[in-house]
């Protein structure tokens, strides 16, 4: 079985500060990894994904994530946060299928002016 842990329920950062959201996964083989963002009342928007190859993945809105097999992690980073980044962020793993995702519990990001 696959699982995802997002250890931080809520993170607060100041606008312009750097951001790192943590994600740890459990799966026997190399998984398919995703980060999605959800604004209030909205669906999920894909930020980036990792299938194979380069372990540093670039996404939209200036986000990047690094796959570390030894740590079973796929942390999301952004060098400078904007107020519009305030939202809930979900890490997801697709093991047997990239169409059957297991999501973490989400991290709520608050951005202070």
Partner 1 sequence: KAGVTQTPRYLIKTRGQQVTLSCSPISGHRSVSWYQQTPGQGLQFLFEYFSETQRNKGNFPGRFSGRQFSNSRSEMNVSTLELGDSALYLCASSFSGQGAGWYQETQYFGPGTRLLVL
Angstrom distance (rounded) from CA 27 to CA 84 = 33
Q: Does 101 bind partner 1 (CB under 8 A)?
A: yes
Q: Is 104 in the site for partner 1 (CB under 8 A)?
A: yes
Cα 1 to Cα 22: distance, rounded to the nearest angstrom: 20
- CB burial of residue 13 (10 Å; 0-12, 13-18, 19+): middle
* Interface residue with partner 1, options 26, 73, 75, 102 (CB under 8 A): 102
Taking the complex as a whole, the smallest distance from the CB of residue 2 to partner 1 amounts, in Å, to: 11
Per CB under 8 A, residues contacting partner 1 are: 32, 34, 36, 42-46, 49, 51-52, 90, 92, 94, 97-106
């Amino acid at each position: 079985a696959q699982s995802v842990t997002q250890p931080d329920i809520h993170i607060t950062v100041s606008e312009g500060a750097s951001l790192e959201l943590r994600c740890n996964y459990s799966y026997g083989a190399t998984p398919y990894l995703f980060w999605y963002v959800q604004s209030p009342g909205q669906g999920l928007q894909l930020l980036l994904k990792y299938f194979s190859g380069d372990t540093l993945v670039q996404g939209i809105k200036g986000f990047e994530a690094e796959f570390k097999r030894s740590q079973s992690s796929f942390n999301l980073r952004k060098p400078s946060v904007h107020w519009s980044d305030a939202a809930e962020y979900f890490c997801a793993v697709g093991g047997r299928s990239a169409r059957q995702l297991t999501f973490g519990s989400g991290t709520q990001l608050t951005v202070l002016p």
